[in-house]
């Protein structure tokens, strides 16, 4: 399997004496779904921001895929257009794709996440679960090989979590998901990395890692 992301010895701190990430190394291969779990403040979101180059970290990040899609924790940070269709098509239009083709791709992406019926509505009028799925559609429309998701289940109710899991499970792209929703990741991720105090303290198959009560207790996850 071809790797799409390689991270080597990544370190970052907002203050020198308090590092948030300490020598994080891992890789993601094509089509794989990897979960990063960690308690609040473990450095999950910071790690994603460092991967995207939004924070300047030391170490190496090699994004080997041509296109990377990102789903941020708060959909309002991503969706701002007068309609979902425009929000999803925007990245394509911006790349110079003809409007008709961009529309067609956007409709297909919205259908994939079950939101084709809401294409003409603005994101602000949708439920949080729908907005999260719309963010995924916006990321998918650009045809990414790697999808990064930051806490996709945050503030969602049980049904919305199940719908989201259903959407993510069917995607043929590599996915890197940060979350502390263990049940959600158990059914979705093939591999789990446990982040604690900025370090990866464990890595392995989802069933094995998420079944280790003492490991999860030590990482502040249960």
Partner 1 sequence: MVLRARGVAGVLGFAGLLALIEWFSTGRVTWLPVVTVAVFLVSTAAFKMLPWKGAIFAVRPGSRLYSAVLFGLFVRHFAAILETESRRVLTARRLCISRKWGPGWLRSLAFALAALLNRTLVRAERFYAAQRVRGLGE
111 binds partner 1 (CB under 8 A): no
What is the CA 75 to chain-centroid distance, rounded?
A: 12
Binding partner 1 by CB under 8 A: which of 18, 56, 95, 159? 95
Residues 112-171 interacting with partner 1 (rule: CB under 8 A): 124, 138, 142
In terms of CB distance, is 55 or 161 closer to partner 1? 55
CA 140 – CA 88 distance, rounded (Å)? 8
Give the number of other CB atoms < 10 A from CB of residue 209: 23
89 or 210, CB closer to partner 1?
89
Using CB under 8 A as the binding criterion, the count of chain residues that bind partner 1 stands at 28
In the shown chain, the binding pattern of residues 64 to 93 toward partner 1, with x for contact by CB under 8 A and - for none, equals ----x-x-x-x-xxx-xxxx--x--xxx-x
> Looking at beta carbons only, is 10 or 68 nearer to partner 1?
68
Residue 33 binding partner 1, by CB under 8 A? no
Closest Cα partner for 3 from 91, 66, 64? 64
Question: Could you tell me the two tokens for 183?
Answer: 């049940």
For partner 1, the closer CB: 82 or 205: 82
Q: Which residue, 25 or 83, is less far from partner 1 as judged by CB? A: 83
Strands 18-29 and 199-205: unpaired
**One residue of 12, 26, 49, 184 binding partner 1 per CB under 8 A:** 49
* Maximum CA extent, the chain: 54
Where do we find the tokens 């979350």?
Answer: 179
| Binding letters toward partner 1, positions 182-221, x by CB under 8 A | ----------------------------------------
What does the block give as tokens for 153? 């289940």
Distance CA 68, CA 56 (A): 18
DSSP string of 58-99, one letter each residue? EEEEEE-SS-EEEE-SSGGGT--SSSHHHHHHHHHHHTT--H
Binding site for partner 1 (CB under 8 A): 49, 52, 54, 68, 70, 72, 74, 76-78, 80-83, 86, 89-91, 93-96, 99, 102-103, 124, 138, 142
């Amino acid at each position: 399997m071809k790797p799409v992301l390689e991270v080597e010895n990544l370190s970052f701190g907002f203050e020198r004496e308090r590092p948030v990430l300490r020598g994080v190394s891992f890789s993601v291969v094509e089509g794989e779904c990897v979960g990063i779990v960690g308690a609040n403040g473990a450095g999950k979101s910071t790690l994603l921001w460092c991967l995207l180059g939004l924070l300047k970290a030391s170490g190496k990040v090699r994004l080997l895929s041509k296109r990377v899609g990102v789903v941020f924790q708060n959909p309002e940070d991503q969706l701002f257009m007068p309609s979902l269709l425009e929000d999803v098509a925007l990245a394509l239009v911006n790349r110079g794709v003809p409007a008709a083709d961009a529309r067609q791709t956007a409709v297909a992406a919205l259908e994939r996440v079950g939101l084709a019926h809401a294409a003409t509505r603005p994101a602000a009028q949708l439920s949080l679960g729908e907005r999260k799925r719309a963010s995924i559609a916006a990321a998918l429309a650009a045809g990414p090989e790697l999808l990064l998701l930051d806490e996709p289940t945050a503030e969602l109710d049980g049904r919305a979590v199940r719908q989201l899991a259903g959407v993510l499970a069917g995607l043929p792209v590599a996915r890197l998901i940060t979350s502390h929703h263990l049940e959600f990741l158990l059914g979705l991720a093939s591999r789990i990395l446990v982040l604690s105090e900025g370090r990866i303290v464990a890595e392995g198959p989802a069933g094995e890692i998420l079944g280790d009560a003492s490991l999860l207790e030590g990482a502040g996850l249960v």
